[in-house]
Structure 1
Amino acid sequence: MNLAVKQKIPLKIKRMGINGEGIGFYKKTLVFVPGALKGEEVFCQITKVQRNFVEASLLKVNKASKFRVKPACPIYEMCGGCQIMHLRYDKQLAFKDDVIRQALKKFQPVGYEDYEIRPTLGMVNPTHYRAKLQFQIRKNRGKVMAGLYAENSHRLIDIKDCLVQDEVTQAIVNQVVQLLDKHKTPIYQERRADGVRTLMVRRAKATGQIQLIFVTSKEVRLQPLIKELTQLCPDIKTVALNLNRAKTSEIYGQKTEILWGSETIREAVLDYQFALSPRAFYQLNPEQTEVLYGQVVEALDVTETDHIIDAYCGVGTIGFAFAQRVKSVRGMDIIPEAIADAKANADSMGFTNTHYEAGKAEDIIPRWYREGYRADAIIVDPPRTGLDEKLLKTILTYAPKKMVYVSCNTSTLARDLVSLSKVYEVKYIQSVDMFPHTARTEAVVKLARRSNII
């Protein structure tokens, strides 16, 4: 490899990688160029040299793709929160189909060449879809700002108008920034960790109710700010405080305390309503969550005699879609607040065939089987890290005959399918665009236990 940092080279982009970057070859060396599109001829500068590839920054597009568009967001290139807004939306969806194929080709689970990859289901209007935000709070030259870190940096981008963020939550963040300044609230600085460091805002699409979490590195007096904020924004129903003293990239600490308002807000999906506490997980794109859960219901294809396990159940939202269709639903989650929500939600909907426990699935499922419970189907919706190795082994040990895997990371999905495909046949993979303008997608995988597995 004769390439060096700062060297400028011409490059033809052959394809796009899983992170949305353009990929080409320069004298047989693999080159990754963020911002470049398939088919383009570009001029770029080497920024990093690795053993088997190099990374480069885009300097000029000499021949543009006919699918290149001008991003509507003025801070798109600075922010890094979106990666493919410069690609026409219908081609973004095609790219996400290809991302799944790339991941499968890399890990090669059994029979992957013949998997049915269904076209990604997109949005009619792919803007302002994020109903939840988590912005970092910092001070710059004495002025409070809120936003996201620029990609691969600790440089905070001040965001006042995000094209993919729900407009009401964005307006509330802007209001909070003004009040933090007004009330001279201590703000976290990395050299001196002594104040507000992160703000979470979530808005329920069905009810318009809003909840906030202030994440702080020490006890901070927020009552005057909260009083003024809730008068200005009457849809705010919950304000919570999370204390995180650790100097890590983890957003939350262990303890979350309600400072003002109700414990939960109300949200709805498909034909049921449920409660969300501030720390409970729920999909950030409510409109596409309707589509996603509909696909899960279609893929699992249950009967009224089925017993279902909903692993990583959160507040129970996916499992509730089946509660009236099956004999029983059992779920677990490691976050106790989510399990409390799940139990309360089930009670409020009158379900008597549900059961929820706080803990790890790989510990709880074997105990249930020892106690005589047998599942006909299992749903897994893990975090981006994919299935816990012990849970994967547990699933393969008990092997319910039907399974649906909901994934937000195609790479860890493909990795897990290497093991799962030895016991299960992959019927199809249906991608749902939960995150327009980003390189991420959500996939629903229908699996059926192989006939030779008892």
Structure 2
Amino acid sequence: MGINGEGIGFYKKTLVFVPGALKGEDVFCQVTSVKRNFVEARLLKINKSSKFRVAPDCAIYEECGGCQLMDLRYDKQLDHKDDIIRQALKKFKPEGYEDYEIRHTLGMEKPQHYRAKLQFQTRSFGGSVKAGLYAEGSHRLVAIEDCYVQDQLTQKIINKVTHLLDKYKIPIYNERKIAGMRTVMIRKGQSSNQVQLIFVTSRELALTKLIKELTATFPEIKTIALNLNTSKTSDIYGDKTEILWGQDSIEESVLDYSFALSPRAFYQLNPEQTQVLYNQARKALDVGVDDHIIDAYCGVGTIGFAFAAKVKSVRGMDIIPEAIEDAKKNSAAMGFANTYYEAGKAEDIIPKWYEEGYRADGLIVDPPRTGLDDKLLATVLKYKPEKMVYVSCNTSTLARDLVKLAKVYNVEYIQSVDMFPHTARTEAVVKLQKKEC
């Protein structure tokens, strides 16, 4: 099986990629695209089924495409995620990759309704508003009213939102000519049960009546914000976000500390597995009381807070100013006097700190799916902190970055954590130790 969850088979000597097929199966499929070294095909019939194939628990599994592995038994999904890491390493071949310790993926006891963040597009069909996700590789919206992996409260709220958008005749965005509601983001603090919403629109809208009825129905809602996005790009958010109703943030907890999340601040979407992930990061960095730690891509400070009580100092940066403000407030609320946060790019701020005399003993990086910025990678290789933890949500960009990092650091191990059950994605914690000269 491939890194996107597709089956990889052969027709005579031709490599064939078949979404929906599982390892060990004999399938009948239709070629849809011919490439230079392989073909892509659509699954028509399973002649011989895998003994690990299961019936998906989601009624729109095939139509939606948001999950890729729901028809594979869960323990075998975890095996596949181990293999995804091995495939990525084999493709990019960082130094010594054949000997890396790949630890078995840590899964969930109940891998359903785990997503505490929902981000659905809204569109109008025949005068009726629907909310959901685009089918894979298309701009065809699949309406979703009962998502198997989505938190059930956030699903109920989005269902109510679509009803109210209809009821109050709120203009719905159309890529060709109509300005209006584009996207709805809903996030729940798992520990507090507090909920925040962002309405992403392409123009100002009259939402007072909608907000009044929505908040009366769901007292868990604590924040409603508006983000104005007038661009015609695929970017979800515009630059401007304002609070329309309620408080500035909601509360969440992880490990042994609590923190506030403003609407645009990044936080992991699977709170239960975030506990596992951060605990693994804390183990991997193995800090001492005199250590100075940099938390790049720090968001609201969550990973760094796992170390703040155990080290001399923690410094972090993020490109979202609201996240940095949250990090400062969260740190103060927890009584930390040894933290410092600054808005901006890590590749710009870290050299500035080093010029000012700051030296880091350890570095934490938790980049977006695009991996480490080239300038940040060059910065890390220039200053070479003694130890490093790389938290990755994309095995391909992780393996790519390790090509350079492995020239300076020993890869002690890679621990995969299943943050996204039933999908072909996994999160990895990599322990790196600087090589002896």
Q: Same fold (TM over 0.5)?
A: yes
* Pairing 1:144–2:144 present: no
**CA apart distance, 1:92:** 0.1
Write the distance in 2 (CA, Å) between the matches of 1:101 and 1:192: 46
Aligned to 1:449: 434
Write the distance in 1 (CA, Å) between the matches of 2:354 and 2:145: 52
Aligned to 2:391: 406
Pairs aligned (count): 437
Aligned-partner residue type, residue 285 of structure 1: N
**CA apart distance, 1:132:** 0.2
Matching of residues 342-421 of structure 1 within 5 Å: 342-421=327-406
Write the distance in 2 (CA, Å) between the matches of 1:151 and 1:312: 28
Aligned to 2:57: 72
**CA apart distance, 1:416:** 0.1
Aligned to 1:153: 138
SS at match of 1:322: helix
The runs of 4+ residues in structure 1 deviating greater than 3 Å are none
Aligned-partner residue type, residue 121 of structure 1: L
Identity over the aligned pairs, expressed in percent?
A: 74
Matching of residues 19-418 of structure 1 within 5 Å: 19-418=4-403
Note the aligned Cα RMSD (angstroms).
0.5
Write the distance in 2 (CA, Å) between the matches of 1:363 and 1:243: 28
Aligned-partner residue type, residue 30 of structure 1: L
Write the distance in 2 (CA, Å) between the matches of 1:38 and 1:227: 51
Deviations 1:411-434 (A, max 9, x none): 000000000000000000000000
Deviations 1:263-298 (A, max 9, x none): 000000000000000000000000000000000000
Deviations 1:45-98 (A, max 9, x none): 001111111100000000000000000100000001000100000000000000
Write the distance in 2 (CA, Å) between the matches of 1:344 and 1:28: 60
**CA apart distance, 1:193:** 3.5
Deviations 1:355-383 (A, max 9, x none): 00000001100110111000000000000
Moved more, 44-53 or 307-316: 44-53
Aligned to 1:433: 418
Write the distance in 1 (CA, Å) between the matches of 2:95 and 2:114: 36
SS at match of 1:415: helix
**CA apart distance, 1:248:** 1.1
SS at match of 2:67: coil
Write the distance in 2 (CA, Å) between the matches of 1:196 and 1:168: 21
Write the distance in 2 (CA, Å) between the matches of 1:370 and 1:187: 51
**CA apart distance, 1:190:** 1.2
Write the distance in 2 (CA, Å) between the matches of 1:192 and 1:437: 37
Deviations 1:179-217 (A, max 9, x none): 000000010011113100100000000000000000001
Write the distance in 1 (CA, Å) between the matches of 2:179 and 2:116: 29
Write the distance in 1 (CA, Å) between the matches of 2:401 and 2:148: 34
Write the distance in 2 (CA, Å) between the matches of 1:130 and 1:416: 28
Question: TM-score, normalised to structure 2's length?
Answer: 1.00
Unpaired runs of 5+ residues, structure 1, are: 1-15
Write the distance in 2 (CA, Å) between the matches of 1:411 and 1:320: 28
Write the distance in 1 (CA, Å) between the matches of 2:338 and 2:318: 18
Write the distance in 2 (CA, Å) between the matches of 1:447 and 1:181: 53
Aligned-partner residue type, residue 256 of structure 2: D
**CA apart distance, 1:26:** 1.5
